């Protein structure tokens, strides 16, 4: 395993070689999918499909139970990051739940 110094040294050497025209730059492009928004009934479906009560879902989402109740009743709406987490939970339930442990 390289040390931080070795990693920095290697990166600087690559930058010098690139500047001198000896190598081409590496380029990585990431495509971020748009955030899918869910309506109140879809939120409830995601929660129940994951086998979570409103209390456990609230803990998983990092919000209060009252917030989950409001989402499911349509009185308020989740933020983009909450929608993103719900999307992950709905599409990759096994992996998403693996981050959540019950004691």
The tens digit of pLDDT for each residue in 10-21 reads 888 988 998 998
Tell me the torsion sign for CA atoms 54, 60, 64, 67: negative
The tens digit of pLDDT for each residue in 56-77 reads 999 999 999 999 999 999 999 9
Do residues 52 and 101 lie in contact, with contact meaning Cβ atoms separated by under 8 Å?
Answer: no
Whether the model clears a pTM of 0.75, i.e. scores above it, the answer is: no
């Amino acid at each position: 395993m390289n040390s931080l110094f070795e990693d920095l040294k290697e990166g600087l050497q690559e930058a010098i070689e690139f500047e001198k025209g000896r190598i081409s730059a590496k380029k990585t492009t990431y495509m971020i999918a748009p955030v899918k928004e869910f309506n109140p009934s879809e939120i409830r479906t995601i929660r129940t499909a994951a086998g979570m009560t409103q209390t456990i879902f609230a803990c998983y989402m990092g919000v209060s139970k009252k917030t989950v109740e409001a989402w499911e009743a349509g009185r308020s709406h989740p933020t983009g990051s909450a929608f993103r987490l719900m999307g992950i939970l709905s599409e990759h339930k096994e992996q998403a739940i693996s981050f959540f442990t019950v004691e």
